[in-house]
A and B are shown apart, each in its own frame.
Chain A
């Protein structure tokens, strides 16, 4: 299916660009769709393209040789991924799979680099995106290195309840992969939070019952 200038301009990454620029980009975009759970990219594989989420949600994650997973991010409409390997020509940094039905726009790496060389606006959008990503990953390193699991979990619960990421139903294993620990530890910590009256588990929900208390946990240093 052909991607239109209008469809492209609706994505936040492209929304600041002139229609003339978008018209030059559109012919090079290929649309792909993926089903929930389907693999989009494998970590370590040669980079083929830059991706933009048009619809749905994907997750990017790193895998250890033992199969342990650490989720880097959930990405929704308008967000790009695989920018770094597209720029440095090295293998894919992380694996990506579809969380929901997903529509992605892709631009082959070499073509994308050519677009960057010719269009200052696209280059600026990439730099802004990479700057935001460095900031986010820096916060993640701080979280993993300096905070306890209890603090990291408190921060995660608050961020989710605040709607900081695309809403979804979480399993303990997914949370563990997100905050850099294992399922058992998440289970034990959730139980401790419940015993302290900070949260309550009920039908398909985890309810934050004491927001101020959980925020105090989130501010504790490891």
Chain B
């Protein structure tokens, strides 16, 4: 199955630009630019398949966000089924 996972999604109506996610991201993939949260180097975000996959960020940006503005969507699979699943 082709990987097409999106970057973490940001709900700008909830984001207070507190910068916690910027501080927490171990890959330095997030920046605040012109009053906006930006994933500056998507290739550095381990949530995406382009990452080398050596770093386990535990989706810290989502975890630390106090307003729930960041979401890292995922499909749910059994270990053995992971290459078979199809999502919407």
Contacts and interface: CB of A to CB of B under 8 A. Distances in A.
A83 to B, nearest CB: 25
Interface in A103-160: 157, 160
Given A170-B76, A208-B76, A187 B88 contact: no
A31 interface: no
Contact of A207 (B6, B58, B79, B88): B79
Contact of A57 (B47, B72, B88): B88
State the majority secondary structure of interface residues on B. Answer: loop
A202 interface: yes
Contacts of A57: 88
Given A57-B88, A168-B87, A170-B75, A203 B46 contact: yes
Interface in B37-88: 46-49, 51, 53, 58-59, 62-63, 68, 71-79, 81-82, 85-88
Interface residues of A, number: 29
A222 interface: no
B3 interface: yes
Contacts, number: 84
A170 B81 contact: no
A99 to B, nearest CB: 7
Nearest to A159: B76
Interface string A165-176: 011111111000
Given A169-B88, A173-B68, A183-B68, A207 B73 contact: no
Nearest to B63: A187
Contacts of B53: 202-203
A167 B84 CA distance: 12
17 contacts: A161-B77, A170-B74, A171-B9, A172-B71, A173-B68, A187-B63, A191-B58, A201-B58, A203-B46, A203-B53, A204-B48, A204-B74, A204-B75, A205-B74, A205-B77, A206-B74, A206-B75
